[in-house]
Structure 1
Amino acid sequence: MKQVSVDIGGTFTDCFLVWDDIYLETKALTTHHNLALGFMDALEQACNELGKDIRTVLSQLDSVRYATTLGTNALIERKGPKIGLLTTAGYESQVPLSRGRGYGDGLTPLEQQDLPAARRPEPIVPIPMIAGVRERIDYKGEIVMPLDEEHLRKQIRLLVDRGAQAFVIGLMNSVVNPVHERRVEEIILEEYPTHMLGAIPVILSHQVAERKGEYVRITSAILDAYLHDQMYHALSSLEMTLKEYGYNKPMLVVHNIGGMAQLNSTHALQTIHSGPTAGINAAEHLSEEFEVGHLVAMDMGGTSCDIGIVVGGGIRFYDFNPVIDRWLVSVPMLHLGIIGAGGGSIARYDKTLKHIEVGPASAGSDPGPACFDRGGTNPTVTDADLILGYLDPGYYAEGHISLNKKRAEFAIREAICEELDIDVVEAARQIKKKVDTNMAHAIFKELGVKGYDPKNFTLLAYGGNGPLHCCGIAKVLEMEKILIPPFSPIFSAVGAGIMNLVNIHEKSVFMNIYDSNTRSLFSEFDCFNQYVKELEEAGKEELLRQGIPAEAIQHRLELDMRYGNQLTQTSVISPVNRLNNMSDVLQLVEAFSVNYGERFGEGSQQPEAGIRINTIRVLSYVELDRVKFKKPVEGPAKTPKPHSQRKCYFVDIEGPVLTNVYRTQTIEPGSVIEGPALVESPRTTYLIELGWKLVMGEQNSAWIVRTRKDSLGEKMELESLSKN
């Protein structure tokens, strides 16, 4: 197996090169103006370590997998094309009205409660760029009013005259019968063929979102059209760059659903959070390989912290109506909790609340934290970590980035110390404590709303800053175990190298598996099976178009189910792909009951309220070769010799502590290190705080386990350490 996978973050571009049995990890600063530059920089580093030139490597690769969030900046900066929306006449106001609650989408609960200050987002499609189309299809898919083609042509010309650079077609009930949307596309191309308007995007809403719900479906299509131009040109330029260096295969792009597809089978909205999604995919694979059950995946990078949940058994948590920027959409994505807490998160003094706040604003990669010495003046989490002694100024990013401690001290002193009248070290302590607490609260919320207790989970800490802050976070959550995965600094890029080819097709339905009024079980087997067959055929056709042989394609059936009229619905992996008799229905009911009980507690099931299916979802996929993780070794505990010592400061210890510093290159698997201690690898640092111990594994993986101590013993050790 020879492949390259890359994950582009807000600060760093991570690259993972697999060359048969050789695994190489590299990082480069993200080049936002041209993402291909950062990608090629990271790849060239890996090729140099391999001892081969970049052309030789690219010409022999099986695949290049790409995870990107390039669309995020386009939304933030509002740098997309002018879009024209064609919708059913009489419904032109549904997007501007946004169900009467659009002001709240994308805001925190506290901001949503502040109605006087509520502001709607700036519209992506202003009202003059919306035109009605005379047509009507009812909820059954039957044509009530034929498409008025002459009137349509006038509306198309009107939007073009007003400057439309992309078209979105969002007609009523098109997910049931898309015939009118398809005809509108044909007429647009008749009126303005490619030699007149060029490659103007025409986005059909039923192809972007396949579920009912007109507002969220059309909003999904609008965002897709808005991001299409930037994604197409950025990824196409990267594909052309790869071809120039000898790579002639299609590039694979990671999707938010936890799979990937070729660039020509990818629409822009599917890539919004593809980097963090790849990390969740790697966490699921690690859970199987290491036989670890419940995991909280925490990817703390330079700009943000992404949180995901892995519970095993193939169960995944989706956002069925996620909010992107300020817009509610109807494209399923693996659920992620994203907070502005990374190494580049800016710390500041909040004069209203009179305490230190961290994030969500970030210094990014340019100029970056103050200690990067690239012009940044704002204090960040990385600056605080440097002052506390956790980072080696000459070994950060394997020495490629030299850290300037004086710059960090100056930035923190100017922004925080003068306001609170404290010294720089105390300010750095408070910054670390604040960011650790913020992330712990976010994890607690993610688990709590799904019915889980953090104490029953293992914290999976990765990303450039995950291993550095994991002990502080786990302590707040009262967790007992932390797992640092193999290749932790670039774990999301590794996840892109583990993914299968996947696509999802789904259909909104309303089916009573158990009707509480008539006390009868579902019996319309032919209807259910026909829906599943149609979705399987759609998925199969998509993969065949990418050159996949039919015999390699597999399908998995998922159902969104709930009790009665509950708002909470659960995604259940169906034990059977067809319902043929009552025994199959009872198996499905049992699977739903078990899943519900595990999440919300045994006994919380309510079958007496009825059991419903809201969505039928088919995952069509092709299994590919995967990266092999090496399990932790077993044997007698070893105590390595420290590489050096330096003074560090800890949140719960007064004064400096002379701390042992180890290097991963000299630590044998099975070695045990008691905290407080630091373990440095070329691209990250593991911080083992007091009351924890680290057990080193293969591929730089490690278990960090809480050590049991009574309060008196811990107090005496704190006093002893502070004297050092």
Structure 2
Amino acid sequence: MKRVSVDIGGTFTDCFVAWGDRYIESKALTTHHNLALGFNEALSNACRELCITERDLLSQLDSVRYATTLGTNALIERKGPRVALLTTAGFRSSVPLARAKGYGVGLDHKRQMDVPNAQRPDPIVPIPMIAEVRERIDFDGDIVLELDEADLRHKLRDLVNRGAEAIVVVCANSVVNPVHELRIREIFLEDYPSHLLGAIPMLLSHQVAGRKGEYVRAMSTIIDAYLHQVMYHGLGTLELNLREAGYDKPMLVNHNSGGMAQLNSTDALQTVHSGPVSGIAASEHLALQAELGNIVATDMGGTSFDIGIVVEGGVKHYDFNPVIERWMVSVPMVHLVTLGAGGGSICRYDRMFRTVQVGPESAGSDPGPACYDRGGLKPTVTDADMLLGYLDPANYAGGRIRLNARRSKQAFEDHLCDELGISPIEAAKLVKQTVDTNMANGIARELRTRGYEPENFTTLAYGGNGPLHACGIARALGVRTILAPPFASVFSAVGAGNMNQMHIHEMSTWTQLFDANRASFLSDYARFNGIVGELERRGREDLLRQGFASEQIDYRLELDMRYGNQRVETAVVADLNRIDSPQDVLRLIDLFHTRYGERFGKGSQTPEAGVRINTIRVCSYVKHPGIRFRGVRPEGAALPPPPATGERSCHFVGHPQPMPTPIYGEAALTPGTQIDGPAIVVTRATTYLIEPGWRYRAAQQNAVWFTRID
């Protein structure tokens, strides 16, 4: 296997190269103006270690896979085209009203409660760019009002005259019958062919989101249209960069659904948060191969702290109405929680509580933390780590970034010390304690709201800053062990290389497996099987277009089910793909009954209310060989630490005086090496901080276990 996988984050571009039996990890600063430059630098670093040129390496690769935050950044910075919305008459206000929750969606609980100061996000589609068209299809797909084509042509002309650069079409109930959306596109191309307008894209909502709910379906399509241009040019530049360097295969892009596809089969919306989702995929593979049981995956990078859950058996939690930036959308996405607690998170004085607030704003890679000496003036978490003695100014990021401790001290003095009335060191301790506690609270809240306890999970700490803050997070969380997984600093890039090519298609339905009013079971098997067959056909065509044979494609059927008219839906993975008998119907009801009881408690099931399927979802995928994790658990007798390469005076939370702290190099990653804190292990990729009262134990592939011993 020869494969390059890349995770382009807000601060660093992580690169992981699988070259036969050799695994190489590399990092470079993200170059937001041209993502290819950061990728080239990271790849060049890996090639030097392999003693091969970039052109020779790329010409021999099986695949190159990207996970990127390009779409997320474009939403934050509002870098997109002027989008217009064409919708069914009577639905003009659906998007501006945002279910009357637009002021709070995407905010933390504290800001959601601050209703007097609530502000809605700036709309992606301004109200003057929303037009109505006369048509109507009912919930069952029957045409109630035929499309008024003359009115449609007038509305299209008006939107084009207003400067529309992308047009979104959202007709009521189009997921059941898309005939009007399809006809609207035909008329648009008749009146405005691509050679006349320069190819204004028109996106149809039923092709982006397959579930009912006009608002979330509209927002899914609007965000997809808004990101279309920037994703096309950004990822197109990356693909062109590969072509020029000698790589002649299709570029693969990771999706937030946990799969990946070629660039020409990827919607822009599917790339949002694909980097953190790749880390969760890597956690799933590690849990299965190493039999770790329940996993909580935490990724502390330069910009954010991401949390995901994988319960035993490799089952991930999905969001079917996730929030992207400040909007709710309707796409299946692996569930994750993001906190503003990365290495570049900016620290400020909280006047109300007279303490330090960390994040959510980040210094990113440009200008970066003050110690990067690139023009950053505000204190960050990395600056706190610098002042506390954890980072080596001459050997940070393998020596590629020279740190300036004086800049960190100046930033703390200018923005925190005077208000707090304490020294820069004490302020840095307060920052570390605050950020570690924030991350631990985020983990605990995420687990306990889903009915889990942190002590029943193995916590993974990865990302560039994960091993540096692992002990602090574990102490605040109240757990005694925490794992920095193999290749921790580029673990999300590892996950990007482990994903299968997959497409998810879904459709809203009203299918009653058991009708309580009539005391009858589903008998129309053909309708159910027809929907499943259609979704399988769409997935199969997606994968056939990418060069796979039909026999390579597998399918997984998932059903969103509920009892009667309950609002809560439960996703069930079916162990059959067709219904052919009453026994099959009973089998699905039994699967739902069991899954519901696992989620809400035994005895909470209410089959007497009826059992209904609201959404049918088919995952079509092709399995790929993945990275093999080996020897993650410590084995054999512990080895003494290697000779220290130096010593620094470091400051720790809970210890009033600085402590002499030995520094170890790459030799400390030898499997079996055991070190008691305080100590620091510095490698080319990251820094492992062993705090007082903690023990470090190295395993294979640079996996490290931290265990509390005090």
TM superposition score category, shorter chain reference: over 0.9
User: Which of the numbers 672, 675, 683 marks the counterpart of 2:674?
Assistant: 672
Structure 2: distance between partners of 1:159 and 1:263? 29
CA contact (8 A) 1:563 1:609 kept: yes
CA contact (8 A) 2:669 2:699 kept: no
Change in Cα spacing, 1:605 to 1:470, as seen in structure 2 (3 Å) is farther
Residue 610 of structure 1: how far off its partner (Å)? 4.8
Matches within 5 A, 1:402-441: 402-441=402-441
Q: Which residue of 2 aligns with 1:654?
A: 656
Structure 1 residues without counterparts, runs of 5 or longer: 710-724
Residue 388 of structure 1: how far off its partner (Å)? 1.2
Q: Which residue of 2 aligns with 1:218?
A: 218
1:477 equivalenced with 2:477 (yes/no): yes
Q: Which residue of 2 aligns with 1:307?
A: 307
Q: Which residue of 2 aligns with 1:193?
A: 193
CA contact (8 A) 1:532 1:616 kept: yes
SS of 1:528's equivalent?
Answer: helix
SS of 1:203's equivalent?
Answer: strand
Q: Which residue of 2 aligns with 1:54?
A: 54
Q: Which residue of 1 aligns with 2:118?
A: 118
Superposed CA offset, 1:107-145 (max 9, x none): 223323333222222221112212222222221112222
Structure 1: distance between partners of 2:142 and 2:610? 30
Q: Which residue of 2 aligns with 1:244?
A: 244
Residue 692 of structure 1: how far off its partner (Å)? 2.5
TM-score (norm 1): 0.94
Residue 567 of structure 1: how far off its partner (Å)? 4.3
Superposed CA offset, 1:351-386 (max 9, x none): 122111100011110111111111111111111111
CA contact (8 A) 2:287 2:314 kept: no
Structure 1: distance between partners of 2:512 and 2:473? 43
Letter of the structure 1 residue corresponding to residue 697 of structure 2: V
Structure 2: distance between partners of 1:350 and 1:458? 33
Superposed CA offset, 1:560-614 (max 9, x none): 2344555443322222223334444444444444444444455555555554433
Q: Which residue of 1 aligns with 2:165?
A: 165
Q: Which residue of 1 aligns with 2:684?
A: 682
SS of 2:92's equivalent?
Answer: coil
Q: Which residue of 1 aligns with 2:642?
A: 641
Q: Which residue of 2 aligns with 1:21?
A: 21
SS of 1:508's equivalent?
Answer: strand
Change in Cα spacing, 1:597 to 1:541, as seen in structure 2 (3 Å) is same
CA contact (8 A) 1:456 1:479 kept: no
Single out whichever of 130-139 and 356-365 deviates more from structure 2. 130-139
1:398 equivalenced with 2:398 (yes/no): yes
Structure 2: distance between partners of 1:489 and 1:167? 41
Superposed CA offset, 1:226-264 (max 9, x none): 110100011112111111111111111111100001111
CA contact (8 A) 1:488 1:701 kept: yes
Superposed CA offset, 1:447-478 (max 9, x none): 12211111111111100001111221112222
Superposed CA offset, 1:481-535 (max 9, x none): 2111111101111111000000101122344445566666555544333322221
CA contact (8 A) 1:224 1:269 kept: yes
SS of 1:49's equivalent?
Answer: helix
Q: Which residue of 1 aligns with 2:285?
A: 285
Superposed CA offset, 1:45-90 (max 9, x none): 1122211111111122111101111112222222211112111223
Structure 2: distance between partners of 1:599 and 1:395? 48
Q: Which residue of 2 aligns with 1:147?
A: 147
Matches within 5 A, 1:147-546: 147-514=147-514, 522-546=522-546
Letter of the structure 2 residue corresponding to residue 700 of structure 1: N
Structure 2: distance between partners of 1:418 and 1:102? 38
CA contact (8 A) 2:635 2:699 kept: no
Structure 2: distance between partners of 1:353 and 1:515? 56
Residue 629 of structure 1: how far off its partner (Å)? 1.3
Letter of the structure 2 residue corresponding to residue 641 of structure 1: P
TM-score (norm 2): 0.96
Q: Which residue of 2 aligns with 1:85?
A: 85
Q: Which residue of 1 aligns with 2:696?
A: 694
CA contact (8 A) 1:345 1:381 kept: yes
Letter of the structure 2 residue corresponding to residue 36 of structure 1: A
Residue 98 of structure 1: how far off its partner (Å)? 2.1
Structure 1: distance between partners of 2:519 and 2:428? 63
Letter of the structure 2 residue corresponding to residue 637 of structure 1: A
Letter of the structure 2 residue corresponding to residue 437 of structure 1: T
Single out whichever of 640-649 and 233-242 deviates more from structure 2. 640-649
Residue 393 of structure 1: how far off its partner (Å)? 1.4
Change in Cα spacing, 1:185 to 1:304, as seen in structure 2 (3 Å) is same
Structure 1: distance between partners of 2:517 and 2:677? 61
CA contact (8 A) 1:560 1:571 kept: yes
Change in Cα spacing, 1:578 to 1:92, as seen in structure 2 (3 Å) is same
Letter of the structure 2 residue corresponding to residue 483 of structure 1: L
Structure 1: distance between partners of 2:608 and 2:178? 38
Aligned residues: 708
Q: Which residue of 1 aligns with 2:138?
A: 138
Residue 663 of structure 1: how far off its partner (Å)? 2.0
Letter of the structure 2 residue corresponding to residue 654 of structure 1: P
Letter of the structure 2 residue corresponding to residue 693 of structure 1: R
Structure 2: distance between partners of 1:134 and 1:328? 26
Structure 2: distance between partners of 1:388 and 1:520? 69
Structure 1: distance between partners of 2:459 and 2:56? 40
Letter of the structure 2 residue corresponding to residue 69 of structure 1: T
Superposed CA offset, 1:542-577 (max 9, x none): 111111110000001122234455544332222222
Residue 666 of structure 1: how far off its partner (Å)? 4.4
CA contact (8 A) 1:294 1:457 kept: yes
Letter of the structure 2 residue corresponding to residue 291 of structure 1: E
Letter of the structure 2 residue corresponding to residue 200 of structure 1: I
Change in Cα spacing, 1:516 to 1:440, as seen in structure 2 (3 Å) is farther
SS of 2:218's equivalent?
Answer: helix
Single out whichever of 112-121 and 348-357 deviates more from structure 2. 112-121
Change in Cα spacing, 1:151 to 1:490, as seen in structure 2 (3 Å) is same
Residue 706 of structure 1: how far off its partner (Å)? 2.7
Change in Cα spacing, 1:55 to 1:665, as seen in structure 2 (3 Å) is same
SS of 2:200's equivalent?
Answer: coil
Single out whichever of 521-530 and 367-376 deviates more from structure 2. 521-530
Letter of the structure 2 residue corresponding to residue 639 of structure 1: P
Structure 2: distance between partners of 1:335 and 1:670? 35
Structure 1: distance between partners of 2:512 and 2:439? 40
Q: Which residue of 2 aligns with 1:561?
A: 561
Structure 2: distance between partners of 1:526 and 1:290? 43
Change in Cα spacing, 1:681 to 1:602, as seen in structure 2 (3 Å) is farther
SS of 2:228's equivalent?
Answer: helix
SS of 1:103's equivalent?
Answer: coil
Structure 1: distance between partners of 2:689 and 2:582? 55
Change in Cα spacing, 1:636 to 1:602, as seen in structure 2 (3 Å) is farther
Letter of the structure 2 residue corresponding to residue 367 of structure 1: P
Ranges of 4+ aligned residues in structure 1 off by more than 6 Å: none
Structure 2 residues without counterparts, runs of 5 or longer: none
Structure 2: distance between partners of 1:106 and 1:288? 32
